[in-house]
Amino acid sequence: MPSKLSELKGKEKIRFLKEKYRELQLISKLDRVTDRYRVLDKLIYKSLKILVSFFNCEIGAFMEGQNISPAATEVNSGFIFASCVNEHPASVKETTRKLLNDFLREPKGGLIQNFEKPDEHKSEIKNYIIVPMILRNDIEGAFLLANRSQAFGEKDVVSLRNACAQLDNAVEFCRYVSENKEANQSLTRQKRELEILYAMSLSLNHGYDLDTLLRKILENVMTLLKIDRASVMKYDAKSDNLQTIAVIGEKQNCRLARLAMGKGIAGLVLASGKPIFAPLGSEDRRFLPFSDTGIRVKKIYSFACIPLVAKDSVIGVINFSMLSPKKSIRPNSLDTLSVASNMISLAFQRQEFYQMSIKDELTGLYAFRHFKDRLAEESMRCRRYKMAFSLILFDLDHFKSVNDTYGHPFGNVVLKEVSAILIQNIRVGVDIPARFGGEELVVILPHTDSAGAEIVAQRIRKQVESLALRANDQQVKITISGGISCFPMHADDGETLLKKADEALYAAKDQGRNRIIIAPAQ
């Protein structure tokens, strides 16, 4: 350079020094940008604005190299556009993006294109230069400058290449900052996921009832992924429908919602056993609103449906919904949602096993052991809070004769029918029906005095009496007798209360059967 400078004379020497000074000013401006910005997109955009001004052109653009971003060939992926003009048609950006994309497919040291008659050229790009940015022997991307009144030349390519060299360390540092930030976020997210999963596993072992367990598991996963609403739908084989059994989050009357197998996203997941991620939410063509139930559903912007699988069979689904356009369920969240699904499936299986252990297989009523436990609990509770509860003990009249005459299979039918009547006439989730033994059935009626218990018992007796059962082409008449005792009027402990109800039952038998007797007061 000194030898060349010494050879220059007069105005040429002054022009050369001015050009070098101007290049130094460019480098100085780029230095200030690299010191200020640590996010790659912002760094490149600010640098493009400086380059557009320095080269006195209208357009500047940058596209990431394919080795950095495999998706760089997609529209707007890794593409940054800057201009000294406020607005450009979309076609200008698209043409610019295509030029860069074509260059990166077969990169060169630099590319200059000046059209002889720019105004007659069909494209909005009149002239341009493209220079690659090299980072550690890899192409990081390429810069493009376009639409200058003067033609571009080799000096412009050299100047732009020098600018790229000035930016390479800053770009590498931005990459490091970005990767480090992503790594920290990933570690934080994984730590949070492990904490939530641990909390969900503790819920399984805590002994909660099914409703509480479902709520705790769903609340944990919703907190982790910031989901607005979650619902659990259980498959009912009798109706061949999905029935909503739990809704957490945005309040909405969705418990009436039913979906048939293969209908809607949930029905498709039930049929296939595979999760479905619907980023369009309720706009997805597979989404089926609950129009037949009269439920007004809020617009869903993002939706995921995960199958509940137990013993290699799909027993239901879980729906996760985002109700805000600012949030979405990401595909990489499906693993976490699947873990929640597995835990809920385990909860259902545990509930099923528990019900099998406390229910009588034939009648569907509670087993005697569970009844004795609940009787002791109810006695203790009512004694503590000074409340009343009643006990009804039923016995099928002449049931041994029915078994001997028509056979035990028909006797089982009778027990099932009578048990169904019993269940239909008591409060679900409040009263406790059980099979006491053989043909004896019993019901605990919390918060019920003897008069209230008699009304329930008489209603059951009348419906049993009106049963139309046939065996061997003969109509078989079935009747039932019952005895009632009440806490604390007849006894202040469960065992004695049961004894009083049994005595009242025998009194009903002695007085002719098909009747209800209340135990005498102490």
Q: What is the mean pLDDT of the chain?
A: 85
The more confident residue out of 124 and 62 is 62
Tell me the C-alpha to C-alpha distance, in Å, between residue 50 and each of 30, 160, 333: 8, 11, 41
β partners of residue 247? 231
Does residue 190 register a pLDDT over 80? no
Give the confidence band of 517 by pLDDT, cuts at 50, 70, 90. Answer: very high
CB 101, CB 72: distance < 8 Å: yes
- The single-letter DSSP state of residue 240 is T
- pLDDT, tens digit, for every residue of 329-351? 887 788 888 888 888 888 888 87
Q: Which pLDDT value is given to residue 87?
A: 75
Using alpha carbons, select from 279, 284, 337 the residue that is nearest to residue 308.
Answer: 337
- pLDDT, tens digit, for every residue of 461-474? 999 999 989 998 88
The SS3 call for residue 348 is: helix
Q: CA dihedral defined by 366, 372, 377, 380, rounded to 10 degrees? A: 150
Task: Kindly state the percentage of the chain with pLDDT values over 70.
Answer: 90
Average confidence (pLDDT) over 182-186: 81
End-to-end CA distance of the chain: 121
What are the structural domain ranges in the chain? 17-178, 210-354, 368-518
CB 164, CB 131: distance < 8 Å: yes
**Pair of tokens at residue 329:** 């369920």
Does residue 326 register a pLDDT over 60? yes
Q: Which pLDDT value is given to residue 118?
A: 55
Q: Which pLDDT value is given to residue 441?
A: 97
Distance CA 365, CA 106 (A): 77
CB 79, CB 62: distance < 8 Å: yes
Q: Identical fold at 210-354 and 368-518? A: no
Q: Which pLDDT value is given to residue 162?
A: 87
Q: Which pLDDT value is given to residue 508?
A: 96
- pLDDT, tens digit, for every residue of 33-55? 888 888 888 889 999 999 999 99
Q: Which pLDDT value is given to residue 75?
A: 47
Which value, in Å, is the radius of gyration of the alpha carbons in the chain?
40
Angle, in degrees to the nearest 10, between helices 10-36 and 154-205: 0
Does residue 220 register a pLDDT over 90? no
Does residue 13 register a pLDDT over 80? no
Q: Is 290 exposed, middle or buried (0-12, 13-18, 19+ CB in 10 A)?
A: middle
Give the confidence band of 72 by pLDDT, cuts at 50, 70, 90. Answer: very low
Question: Model-level pTM greater than 0.85?
Answer: no
Does residue 205 register a pLDDT over 80? no
Does residue 479 register a pLDDT over 70? yes
Give the confidence band of 295 by pLDDT, cuts at 50, 70, 90. Answer: low
Does residue 2 register a pLDDT over 60? no
Q: Which pLDDT value is given to residue 375?
A: 95
Average confidence (pLDDT) over 68-86: 63
User: Token pair 């053989």 is at which residue?
Assistant: 438
If phi > 0 it is left, if psi is from -120 to 50 it is alpha, else beta; for residue 371 that is alpha
Give the confidence band of 69 by pLDDT, cuts at 50, 70, 90. Answer: very low
One-letter identity of residue 493: D
- The single-letter DSSP state of residue 366 is B
Q: Does domain 210-354 have CATH number 3.30.450.40?
A: yes
Does residue 4 register a pLDDT over 70? no
Average confidence (pLDDT) over 66-78: 48
Least confident span in 149-158, 394-403, 493-502: 149-158
The SS3 call for residue 432 is: strand
What is the tally of helices (H) and strands (E) in the chain? 13, 18
Q: In sequence order, what are the residues at sequence separation of 6 or more whose Cβ sits closer than 8 angstroms to the Cβ of residue 213?
A: 203, 204, 206, 347
Fold classified for 368-518: Alpha-Beta Plaits (3.30.70)
The SS3 call for residue 89 is: coil
Q: Which pLDDT value is given to residue 117?
A: 63
CB 98, CB 25: distance < 8 Å: no
Using alpha carbons, select from 399, 381, 401, 376 the residue that is nearest to residue 497.
Answer: 376
Does residue 176 register a pLDDT over 80? yes
Q: In sequence order, what are the residues at sequence separation of 6 or more whose Cβ sits closer than 8 angstroms to the Cβ of residue 452?
A: 390, 445
Does residue 513 register a pLDDT over 70? yes
- The single-letter DSSP state of residue 299 is P
Task: Kindly state the percentage of the chain with pLDDT values over 90.
Answer: 39
Using alpha carbons, select from 502, 505, 521, 501 the residue that is nearest to residue 513.
Answer: 505
Q: Which pLDDT value is given to residue 446?
A: 96
The SS3 call for residue 152 is: coil
Dihedral sign for Cα atoms in the order 490, 496, 500, 501: positive
Give the confidence band of 67 by pLDDT, cuts at 50, 70, 90. Answer: very low
Distance CA 430, CA 440 (A): 21
CATH of span 17-178 = 3.30.450.40
**Pair of tokens at residue 101:** 């994309």
Q: Which pLDDT value is given to residue 291?
A: 53
